[in-house]
């Protein structure tokens, strides 16, 4: 395992996907260390091609360049759907600070599985701009590719925590994930006091896969309360732990605070793009402390909570 100058480890994931048991175990141990110490890690060779990334980033840029009236036709409406377009300053990841200087587009699995319709907590029907079939097909295709990488990670997390390899994959098999396209437009106006491109926050679900361009701005809060940069690293995906995984693991894995800052150089006049797959357990999953993560000297810190209800609470607090 290598370490970048920014203290976030880089891990080659290929031996976990294709290796034998001992190789998989070695990767799982590296993942445990990264999740325990920083909550962030760069993964190489997760099975997502550079070509797939180029195509989906091109479609993301295409969408955000559409006329505002077209984007508004597929506007995000409520937390129970959590699909569609959000305009600048609508989301407030730091609830006590001004709205974030970004616009986004959320999508998910399509078609919705029968089991999802029965649960009926969220209405995850996607919203698509009319006549933009290439955008729809490209983003849905990338959702599936990224979700396959997430499924491999579920196996790795389980092994890292001493569980049956299928433990997390079984609890994520409905793919209640959200693929989010993000655009941080150029800032040619005075920002409000304490306003950021994305306010200080932790992610809500199990874990996140983040793909970003080279503009930079993402910062991670270290254990000693210092902000460290987390730029794009070539041929990697940045993975971070979310709140529900922290609860599951009794703080063994860290859901680390992070933000996207406003540049202080000429990058302030440039767009920044990123794409995130927010990986969530099935809505009806009861998240309680794992048996491998507590004992008499280290009791469980969190009450059991429904994964779907937790996500709904967090979404309602930030819009």
Phi/psi of residue 229, each to 5°? Answer: -70, 145
The confidence score (pLDDT) of residue 123 equals 85
**Residue 69 neighbours by CB distance under 10 Å:** 7
The pLDDT-based confidence of 237 (bands split at 50, 70, 90) is very high
| Mean predicted confidence (pLDDT) in 185-211 | 95
d(CA 211, CA 229): 15
Average pLDDT of the chain is 94
The sheet carrying 198-201 orders its strands as 198-201, 258-260, 218-221, 227-229
pTM for this model (two decimals): 0.95
Say which CATH number the domain at 50 has. 2.60.120.330
Residue 218, pLDDT above cutoff 70: yes
Residue 301, domain extent? 2-318
H-helix or E-strand containing 259? strand 258-260
Phi/psi of residue 91, each to 5°? Answer: -90, 145
Owner of token pair 């709140």: 243
Q: Are 165 and 158 in contact (CB under 8 A)?
A: yes
Over the stretch 133-164, which tens digit does the pLDDT of each residue have?
A: 999 999 999 999 999 999 999 999 999 999 99
Give the bridge partners for 239, in sequence order: 41, 209
Number of domains in the chain: 1
- Backbone torsion region of residue 258, taken as left when φ is above 0, otherwise alpha when ψ lies between -120 and 50, otherwise beta: beta
| Mean predicted confidence (pLDDT) in 9-13 | 97
Among 157, 196, 140, CA closest to 32: 157
- Report angle CA 103, 254, 311 to the nearest 5 degrees: 50
The confidence score (pLDDT) of residue 121 equals 74
3-class secondary structure, 15: helix
The pLDDT-based confidence of 116 (bands split at 50, 70, 90) is low
Share of the chain above pLDDT 70, in %: 96
**Residue 61 neighbours by CB distance under 10 Å:** 14
The confidence score (pLDDT) of residue 319 equals 83
Q: Are 138 and 59 in contact (CB under 8 A)?
A: yes
- Backbone torsion region of residue 298, taken as left when φ is above 0, otherwise alpha when ψ lies between -120 and 50, otherwise beta: beta
The confidence score (pLDDT) of residue 3 equals 40
Residue 205, pLDDT above cutoff 70: yes
The answer for residues whose C-beta is within 8 angstroms of residue 140's C-beta and 6 or more apart is: 107, 110
Give the bridge partners for 179, in sequence order: 107, 277
Give the bridge partners for 9, in sequence order: 3
The pLDDT-based confidence of 104 (bands split at 50, 70, 90) is very high
Residue 6, pLDDT above cutoff 60: no
Residue 40, pLDDT above cutoff 90: yes
The confidence score (pLDDT) of residue 4 equals 46
Share of the chain above pLDDT 90, in %: 88
3-class secondary structure, 135: helix
Over the stretch 253-298, which tens digit does the pLDDT of each residue have?
A: 999 999 999 999 999 999 999 999 999 999 999 999 999 999 888 9
The pLDDT-based confidence of 117 (bands split at 50, 70, 90) is low
């Amino acid at each position: 395992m290598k370490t970048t100058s920014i203290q976030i480890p880089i891990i080659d994931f290929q031996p976990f996907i294709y290796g034998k048991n001992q190789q998989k175990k070695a990767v799982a141990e590296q993942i445990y260390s990264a999740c325990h110490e920083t909550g962030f890690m760069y993964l190489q060779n997760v099975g997502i091609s550079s070509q797939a990334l180029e195509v989906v980033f091109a479609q993301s840029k295409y969408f955000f360049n559409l006329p505002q009236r077209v984007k508004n036709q597929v506007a995000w409406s409520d937390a129970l759907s959590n699909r569609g377009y959000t305009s600048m300053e609508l989301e407030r990841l730091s609830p006590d600070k001004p709205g974030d200087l970004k616009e986004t587009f959320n999508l998910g699995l399509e078609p919705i599985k029968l089991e999802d319709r029965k649960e009926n907590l969220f209405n995850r029907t996607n919203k698509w701009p009319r006549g933009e079939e290439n955008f729809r097909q490209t983003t849905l295709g990338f959702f599936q590719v990224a979700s396959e990488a997430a499924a491999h990670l579920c196996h790795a997390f389980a092994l890292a925590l001493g569980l049956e390899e299928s433990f997390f994959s079984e609890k994520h098999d409905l793919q209640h994930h959200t693929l989010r396209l993000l655009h941080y437009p150029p800032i040619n106006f005075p920002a409000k006091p304490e306003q950021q491109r994305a306010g200080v926050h932790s992610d809500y679900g199990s874990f996140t896969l983040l793909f970003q361009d080279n503009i930079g701005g993402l910062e991670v809060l270290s254990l000693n309360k210092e902000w460290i940069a987390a730029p794009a690293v070539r041929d990697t995906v940045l993975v971070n732990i979310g709140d529900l995984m922290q609860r599951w693991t009794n703080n063994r894995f860290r859901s680390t605070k992070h933000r996207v800052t406003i540049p202080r150089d000429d990058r302030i006049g440039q767009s920044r793009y990123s794409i995130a797959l927010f990986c969530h357990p099935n809505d009806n999953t009861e998240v309680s402390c794992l048996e491998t993560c507590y004992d008499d000297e280290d009791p469980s810190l969190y009450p059991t909570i429904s994964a779907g209800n937790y996500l709904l609470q967090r979404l309602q607090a930030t819009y």
